[in-house]
Amino acid sequence: MNLVKRLDAMVRQNQDIIEYLRHAHRIGDYGMLVGSLDYAIARINTVILRLSQYPLLADQYFSELQSCHCSVRSFHLNMQRAESWPGFLQWYPRFRLHRIGIKKFPRIAVLLARVENDIKN
């Protein structure tokens, strides 16, 4: 599949997350999770936009972008689980949310910085 089509498919997959964020409640601890997901999806979309403008860089960073995209989708899935699962089982999705937010979301910011730096140089 063409690289531009893959980037387009990622953007289309992000649409359901963006729609979810429009209707999410931003209250208390849950609001922090919504905010984290909002920042992450904005950064992913910025990276996708930049890489679509520079196809040679897209080849270089695609596997890293795909990994970050999977972590955002996993975060979204665990947020939905935390909403729908019964109270005594909510510890597991909340643990996963914390783990993804601590371990994988900083990689998105690093990827964005690296792409921006490579574009400037």
Is the pLDDT score of 13 beyond 70?
yes
- The structure tokens 């695609």 sit at 62
Maximum separation of any 2 CA atoms in the chain, in Å: 52
Which helix (H) or strand (E) segment holds residue 31: the answer is helix 28-53
Residue range 82-105: mean pLDDT, rounded: 91
Whether this prediction's pTM lies above 0.75 is answered by: yes
How does residue 1 score in pLDDT terms, banded at 50, 70 and 90?
low
Is the pLDDT score of 105 beyond 90?
yes
